[in-house]
Amino acid sequence: MDPIEQLLAERACERLVLDFVHRLDLGEPSSVADLFTEDGTWEWPEGGRLIKGRTALRDYFGTRPADRLSRRLMANILVTVTSPTTAEATSYFTTYRVDGHQGGMVPAGPPVQIGTYEDTFSKAAGTWLLASRTLHLPFGGPTPRQ
């Protein structure tokens, strides 16, 4: 693969990783479904969750509580391009979150989740999309209410 094409593919996949959390935290959560292939999956093995297909993903992420305030920090995003139309990545995330938010600043507290995402990507019609996302959560706790 041409080095410039590889860099462009890596950046497009990194952008999807970041766009996912940005949409959850600052945008319309159900719109994360648009970042997946039509048959894309989101899985949390430890929680026994497997959401398959763009419509199911839209419904799942659309159930996020309206009064939830969250911020996710992404780090160590490592994308490996495996072919001109496929890639995979591992990234670390830290989630700060409260429910019952009515506005204003929230006193800082510990994160409620620290984990990794394992992603696969697919390129079709010139666009990179998430084909699968698997969440691994070695550190987690309940979401506090404000």
Question: Can you spell out the DSSP letters for 81-110?
Answer: EEETTEEEEEEEEEEEEEBS--SS------
Task: Give yes or no for a contact between 144 and 98, defined as CB atoms under 8 angstroms apart.
Answer: yes
Please give the pLDDT value at position 98. Answer: 96
pLDDT in tens, 94-133: 999 999 999 999 998 999 999 999 999 999 999 999 999 9
Which of 51, 49, 52 is CA-nearest to residue 38? 52
Element (DSSP H or E) covering residue 82: strand 69-83
pLDDT above 90: residue 72: yes
Torsion over CA: 101, 107, 112, 113 (sign)? positive
Does pTM top 0.85 for this prediction? yes
What secondary structure letter does DSSP report for 26? Answer: H
Return the domain boundaries, the chain: 3-140
Please give the pLDDT value at position 64. Answer: 94
Q: Give the CATH fold of the 3-140 domain.
A: Nuclear Transport Factor 2; Chain: A, (3.10.450)
Please give the pLDDT value at position 129. Answer: 98
pLDDT in tens, 5-38: 999 999 999 999 999 999 999 989 999 999 999 9
Alpha helices in 1-140 (DSSP H): 3-26, 54-61
- Strand 69-83: give its sheet, edge to edge: 49-52, 36-44, 127-140, 113-124, 86-98, 69-83
pLDDT above 90: residue 47: no
Q: Within 10 A of 128 (CB to CB), how many other CB atoms are there?
A: 23
Give the mean model confidence (pLDDT) for residues 63-78: 96
What whole-number distance in Å separates Cα of residue 31 and Cα of residue 21? Answer: 11
The partner residues of 97 in beta bridges, in order of sequence, read: 70
